Structure 1
Amino acid sequence: MPNKNYFDQQTDSAMSSKQHVPPTDIPELEELISRPTDAVISTMLHLSGDILVLGAGGKIGPSIARMAKRASDQAETARRIIAVSRFSDSASRKRLDAIGVDTIQADLLDTDQLAGLPDAENVLYLAGHKFGVTNNPSLTWAMNSYLPGTVMQRYRDSRVVAYSTGCVYGLSDLTHGGAVESDPLNPTDEYSMSCVGRERIIEYFSRVHNTPTSILRLNYAVEPRYGVLVDIAKMVLAEHPIDVTMGHCNVIWQGDANAMALCSLAHVSSPPFVVNLVGPELVTVRGIAESFAKLFDKQVRFVGTESPSCLLTNGQRCHEMFGYPQVPVQTVIQWTADWLLRGEPTHDKPTGFQVRDGQY
């Protein structure tokens, strides 16, 4: 079943977006991204043990740790939520400490520090390296292929949810409707090859130690501070031309991705349960840019021609397991436009979604 084309159904999404109020500042945004769904609360109610979040200082980690904490509290289930990172952003660590998440500063590549981390029945593995692969490929391979093996051995007796990426499929023909989980992997560059390495190593140790695991091929999470939508919105605001060669993509609201990831703890298996973590719509770069142009009252200029192949994944299995995302794309577009027009901060980390050769 191919993905829906979002911009053919803009009216319905726009109607549903009226039910959502845009966040006005960082505390409101972080509350929204970490707001647990009923399904997450139910998962936490029936799940035993503490939850350890490895790589918790990045773009995803703080909000998923906070959601796990909030859902556990609402389920009245006593457990520790432990967030581990180098925490180069001390403010992020302080915000987690303030809500009762236990934080540990550690370098996961240091085997002694990894060995010294607390045991936990549940592990969320978020660590990885993408940007800078061209200048430092060895670090990319160490983070994406070596480290997963050491983590899987250290936490062989845990349930493990490991993040991956839709890049492992390579470019997919638009007529195919996006890669499905059973499709062969087709890495074409060092980054995507290292990510296939991550999956293979995780699968190997899952089989060897019978470690129940899920692998989540995320593609792409968005919120008003970061993501494909922010990248396009900033270009429209600055009146820069929009390259539409990589003309289509998938996006999913970060809060929905967090909820689905936590719910996947109930579906871990050995060999690993693999699922594309993605929204239901096939969105167009041109359509996104035109939506922002209307909201910003800007003219938009396009360059290039839409390629018949893009980095696309099909989310049918995801939505059958976890339901459709609660926040539609049009809502996130409106929230992002409002956020940028009011001058609220962004992470200032472009996604590189236009890249077709893996040179991040």
Structure 2
Amino acid sequence: MTSPTTPLLTRDSLPEAFRNVEHLEDFMSLPTAETVADLAALDGDIMILGVAGKMGFSLARMIKRAAPDKRVIGVSRFSEEGGEERLRSHGVETIVCDLLDRDAVAALPRIRNIIYMAGLKFDYRGREDFLWAMNTLAPAIVADTFRDSRIVALSTIHVYPWSDPRRGGVTEATPPLARPGEYANSVVGRERTFQYFSGLHDTPGRLVRFVYAIDMRYGVLQEIANWVRSGSVVPLATGNVNIQWQGDAINHFARLLRHVETPATPINIGGPECISVRHVATRFGELFGVEPVFEGSESDNALFVNCDAAADMLGNPVVTLEPMLRWVADWVGSGKPAYGKPSKFEVRNGIF
């Protein structure tokens, strides 16, 4: 269990703004009381495959804070300098491994609980073969190797068809669809691969169809804030989006280890609201003291999903829209660091 002084993510813990990256990352890796309870009831240690992505560091740190007596292991190629040291400073063990290397994966410790975060979405043009290998072959190697584990594997809402957000969004009952663009198709392959091995080996799992994460350094809100502040046009064709505070998202990922099914089934993870791009831009205009410049009008379809099942199982996120808007406006307005990796939520042709 956590110590009496371990801080938790609650509505009362929300800051007015973030002083710097360290403050942001410390807050974003807070566990909820529900996460602490679920991980205490979970048998075995936890290993995160593909830990070096934008969300993996916060997830690993959060799990270690919530369950300090468990081994938490982060696995990645660690191509960026300092990644291993950053995790180890928070008590997370690290292992360098290429998930396309069967022998290297076979050498990993057999940990009871696996969170799979590896994959490729952007910058695959000219190396489509690598896109498919990362999104289908690596999952096959992992799923076969860790057949005796629980596996929570991240997927994406891009496996869904576009829909009219006024009708409530697509649910998990909607089959994954081969949409335009190789990325979406390859992720359908990733899901089906995990499901095949889950059925073959009776491996309990979940496929996490996750919405757009909100961090101060990237994400839908940061992009819209930059458009508004710089006077760039805000495209409205994709007029509604799903978002979720990254700290809430990683808590839900970890808690899903107690809500796996055999064979693995999908679940939509995200906020409960249908967020209006126009409203968000207008609110940023108020916070920046400028008038947003809009382009086009809202289409009657968007990539929008229904997250009611997750809310029923895990509860709604702690962080709501308004605090995120204020945080992002402060961060962007004060020129704090950004990743420079846009979500491309407005792209409608499936080519990222």
TM-score (norm 1): 0.92
1:172 Cα offset (Å): 1.3
State the distance in 1 between where 2:12 and 2:36 align: 24
Cα distance between partner residues in 1 of 2:229 and 2:129: 37
Amino acid at match of 2:56: G
Render the CA deviation track for 1:144-191: whole Å, top value 9, x for unaligned: 111111110011010100000011012112232111000122221211
176-185 vs 201-210, greater mean Cα deviation: 176-185
1:294 corresponds to which letter in structure 2? E
RMSD: 1.5
Structure 2 counterpart of 1:106, from 86, 92, 97: 97
1:254 maps to 2:246: yes
The answer for the alignment partner of 1:29 in structure 2 is 24
Note if contact 2:99-2:141 (Cα within 8 Å) is conserved in structure 1. Answer: no
Greater shift, 184-193 or 119-128, is seen at 184-193
5+ long unaligned stretches in structure 2: 1-10
Length, aligned pairs only: 341
**Partners of 2:209 and 2:266 within 8 A in 1:** yes
* C-alpha distance in 1 between matches for 2:287 and 2:85: 35
Aligned to 1:80: 71
Give the aligned partner of residue 268 of structure 1: 260
Distance 1:356 1:39, change over 3 A: same
8 Å CA contact retained: 1:167, 1:187: no
The code of the aligned residue for 1:104 comes to I
Which of 212, 225, 239 matches 1:220?
Answer: 212
Aligned with 1:44 (options 39, 44, 51): 39
- Name the SS of the counterpart of 1:332 in structure 2: helix
Kept in 2: contact 1:17–1:330 (CA 8 A): no
CA contact (8 A) 1:267 1:273 kept: no
Greater alpha carbon shift after TM alignment, 252-261 vs 297-306:
297-306
Shift in Å, 1:17 = 9.5
Counterpart position of 1:116: 107
Residue 277 (structure 1) aligned with residue 274 (structure 2): no
Q: Distance in 2 between matches of 1:98 and 1:129?
A: 27
The one-letter code sitting in structure 1 at the alignment partner of 2:27 is L
Structure 2: distance between partners of 1:275 and 1:203: 13
Unaligned runs of 5+ in 1: 1-15
Q: Report how far residue 216 of structure 1 moved.
A: 0.7
For residues 1-360 of structure 1, the aligned pairs below 5 Å read 20-73=15-68, 78-189=69-180, 190-360=182-352
Mapped partners of 1:81, 1:17: distance in 2: 28
SS of corresponding position for 1:287: helix
Q: Indicate the SS of the match to 2:82.
A: helix
* Counterpart amino acid of residue 250 in structure 2: N
Secondary structure at 2:75 match in 1: strand
Provide the C-alpha distance between the structure 1 equivalents of 2:113 and 2:316, rounded to a whole number of angstroms.
25
CA distance in 2, matches of 1:61, 1:353: 21
Secondary structure of the corresponding residue to residue 78 of structure 2: coil
Aligned match of 1:3: none
Q: What corresponds to 1:12 in structure 2?
A: none
Q: Secondary structure at the match of 1:310?
A: coil
Contact 1:17 1:331 in 2 (8 A): no
Q: Which amino acid aligns with 2:309?
A: R
Q: Measure how far apart 1:133 and its partner are.
A: 3.4
Letter in 2 for 1:88: S
Describe the SS at the equivalent of 1:309: coil
8 Å contact 1:17–1:328 — kept in the other structure?
no
- RCO higher in structure (CA 8 A, sep ≥6): 1
Please report how far the alpha carbon of residue 18 of structure 1 lies from its aligned counterpart in structure 2 after TM superposition: 10
CA–CA separation in structure 2 for the residues paired with 1:58 and 1:198: 18
Which whole-Å CA distance do the structure 1 matches of 2:243 and 2:172 have between them? 17
Q: CA–CA distance in 1 between the matches of 2:230 and 2:94?
A: 39
Deviation of residue 137 (structure 1)? 1.6
Between the aligned partners of 1:36 and 1:221, the Cα distance in structure 2 is 17
The percentage of counterpart residues that share the same residue type is 40
